[in-house]
Structure 1
Amino acid sequence: MINYFSSKFKLGVLGGGQLGKMLLAETQKFDIYTCILDGSLEAPCAQICNEFHQGDLLDFETVYNFGKKVDLLTIEIEHVNINALLKLEKEGLAIYPQPSVLQTIQHKGKQKDFFIEHNIPTAAYKRFSTLEKLQNENFKFPFVWKTAQFGYDGTGVKIVKNQNELNALPNTDCIIEKLIPFKNELAVIVARNKNGEIKTYPVVEMEFHLEANQVEYVICPARISDEVALKAKNIALKVAEAFQHIGLLAVELFQTATDEILVNEVAPRTHNSGHYSIEASYTNQFEQHLRSILNLPLGNTNSKLAGIMVNLVGEEGFSGNVVYENMEEILKMEGVTPHIYGKKETRPFRKMGHVTIVNNDITKARKIAEKVKNTIRVISK
């Protein structure tokens, strides 16, 4: 067994955003030496890791040279140079999740093809390499358009309702999907280590902001029947087994009007849908990610209490130096814990933090979450 704790072992992380920052809370707890690569000196991780390296995550030489400095490499964002990772892996560096998994998931078209190849239920789709090819296709409006690569937090996803909206789309590699009339958007986080030990977190329910297409609330446990929850969990496990990934895999799902479960997409990392676990779970997702990639025994994924996560995003009409208005008011509320990501500049719908609400009663927790959402404002000076 490698001694990861209080030793010369170096863990490299590609990406220094809020997910990296929350991971660092766990590496510091275990005294694991961390090296971060990110493009911005203002990244949330920059001042709190052991080593910070500035550089482009999509540049081959930058990622390759960074990988040569560490003993094990992981990610907090999947938009990284895959060719550099494949070369590093060939040279013997342990990289989790594996570059082959990232290569499939990075591209939404390849990801959807993977689902079909492995008999994983998903919405009907077609792939297009250019806007012109998409325009020459006959199909019914509305449909969902997704850029094949580099979409995030609702960026690169659009419901297209008519020909004018279609013509205004960017000329890029993309997929279109059938618009699914769903009851709920659900998610399951699956943890898997090198030994093949596998655990799932409870099914969560996600409520989205319609305009920004971002998660507004994550509710754990999801307010669904045990039968639907079991179906969602089993499909998430099927996805994880198909990928044979090491680390965390967040599986986003649709619950249809007839209680069918369809896979929307997956993320091979810690995920917004698991932030509630910091306060509500016996083992939070960030500690579990460490346990997974270091091949340590996986922790208890059960919840201590019902948990709801409220995303804090920049308010419309405000850009500039961030101010969190009414923070004192939400700190007076029972079971409320804010997490501020350390981004100095706000802009409309930018993720700036989140607030976790825990309570014995999910209904009470949801009411408090609404109050939090209506109280705190992320604005600028």
Structure 2
Amino acid sequence: MKGEVKLGILGGGQLGRMLIQAGLDFNLYTLVLDPDENAPCKDVCHEFYVGSFRDFDTVYEFGRNCDILTIEIEHVNADALEKLEQEGVKVYPDAKTVRTIQDKGLQKEFYSKHAIPTADFRILKDAEELKSNTDFLPAFQKLRREGYDGRGVTRLQSEADLGKGFTEPSVLEKLVDFEKEISVIVARNASGQVTAFPVVELSFHPEHNLVDSLFAPANVPYKLQRLAIEIATRVIESFDMVGILAVEMFLTKDGQILVNEVAPRPHNSGHHTIKANYTSQYEQHLRAILNLPLGSTDIQSAAVMLNLLGEPGYDGEAKYEGLQEALAVPGVYIHLYGKKYTRPARKMGHITVLGTDLQEAQQRAESIRNIIKVIA
């Protein structure tokens, strides 16, 4: 790595913030583009630009000032990424990968084309096609574009639920009788080196349909852990992608592993790696896009990660309760995202709880789960 590298990040949220924190060790000069003038990255990057990462001209002009351009959110202008690639800017993940992952229909077709196991699905154009596919229910209907953190997803149990369905282009995904939801974060550098983090087990919030907590390592038989890592490796190699890729999967009750969705960036299911692994997902992403040797993904400590969400009924300038009491518990580490305002269920931070084994980490996590509250 010669001289100071200018790294551009599309998106100024908490993922970008933690990426910048890791980038300090690499002496990177960071530029961030985000539409929110109070975005978490604002005060930790070298240059901060307020603007839309969905707008072609804005992304193109921003990217021209960068040596390397990366993302912390998928919903960016892929046409601008492609033009920047053509002009010599290193863009990771590349425009082709971003386009595919932005569209859940293209994602599903990609899995089918590359023999990657996934749930049965049908691609729908509109409400009329939904009505003519009721034989496929029960299923999840997912908007092809713009959905994340549980938005753009609805469960349709029977024909009686059609009123909850989306009228826009969508994917109808057969309901999977799964035992657990798991995730593998895998990284690949430009030289083709691939590493995977150990499998983690995800627990989802019953109301908001986003990750509530995770357990690392997952309580899954070794053979199935190896299979999950093999599948995640196949996915990133099929994309020919450089960077980090989170692969969320279902472990079914009959022992199958099916890919649910992927994210071509640091991910909620890897936050614990900052404290629990030799290399964090953020450092690994930087190593990958800088084409450095990838770091060890081995676990140093068992961990539980708890998302810190805005409390129901509070909307305004954020205040935090219970920090002192929680931090008095051994092995508890708090990461606040620098978001000025809270609202119900907004991700405001996360808590990593370490233990000598997973049982100890889980016991500590339960002891503090309801202590910290984000209010206004």
Q: Which moved more, 1:365-374 or 1:332-341?
A: 365-374
Aligned to 1:224: 220
Question: Do 1:188 and 1:201's aligned partners in 2 also have CA atoms closer than 8 Å?
Answer: yes
Look up the match of 1:147. Answer: 143
Pairing of 1:1-381 with structure 2 (within 5 A): 2-4=1-3, 7=4, 9-380=5-376
Q: Using the alignment, how far apart are the partners of 2:350 and 2:296 within structure 1?
A: 23
The separation in 1 between residues aligned to 2:348 and 2:128, in whole angstroms, is: 37
Please give the secondary structure, in 1, of the residue aligned with 2:167. coil
Letter in 2 for 1:14: L
Aligned partners of 1:80, 1:186: CA distance in 2, in Å? 26
Deviation at 1:164, TM superposition (A): 4.7
Alpha-carbon distance in 2 for matches of 1:324, 1:356: 17
Q: What SS is found at the alignment partner of 2:325?
A: helix
Alpha-carbon shift at residue 217 of structure 1 (Å): 1.0
What TM-score, normalized to structure 1?
0.96
Deviations 1:199-244 (A, max 9, x none): 0000000011111111111111001111111111111111111111
CA contact (8 A) 1:205 1:220 kept: yes
Q: CA deviation digits over 1:25-69, x for unaligned, max 9?
A: 111222210000001111000111000011111101000111111
Shift of the alpha carbon at 1:172? 1.2
Contact 2:134 2:159 in 1 (8 A): no
Contact map agreement 2:317 2:341 (CA 8 A) in 1: yes
Q: Distance in 2 between matches of 1:103 and 1:275?
A: 25
The answer as to whether partners of 1:135 and 1:167 remain within 8 angstroms in 2 is no
The 2-side partners of 1:162 and 1:361 are apart by 43
Q: Which amino acid in structure 1 is aligned with residue 121 of structure 2?
A: Y
Q: Secondary structure at the match of 1:21?
A: helix
Alpha-carbon distance in 2 for matches of 1:273, 1:67:
28
Structure 2 residue ranges without an equivalent (≥5): none
Q: Distance in 2 between matches of 1:137 and 1:337?
A: 48
Per the normalisation by structure 2, the TM-score is 0.98
Instruction: Count the aligned residue pairs.
Output: 376
CA distance in 1, matches of 2:79, 2:211: 32
Give the secondary-structure state (helix, strand or coil) at the position aligned to 2:297: coil
User: How many percent identity over aligned positions?
Assistant: 47
Q: How far apart are the structure 2 equivalents of 1:140 and 1:53?
A: 46
Q: Secondary structure at the match of 2:284?
A: helix
For residue 3 of structure 1, what is the amino acid of its counterpart? K
Per-residue CA distance 1:232-262 (angstroms, 9 max, x = gap): 1111111111111000010001000011100
Task: State the alpha-carbon separation in 2 of the partners of residues 334 and 79 from structure 1.
Answer: 39
- The Cα shift of 1:133 comes to 2.0
Measure how far apart 1:367 and its partner are. Answer: 1.5
**1:61-102 deviations in whole A, cap 9, x for unaligned?**
000111111111001111000111111111111100111111
Deviates more, 1:154-163 or 1:87-96: 154-163
**RMSD across aligned positions (CA):** 1.1
Which residues of structure 1 form unaligned runs of 5+? none
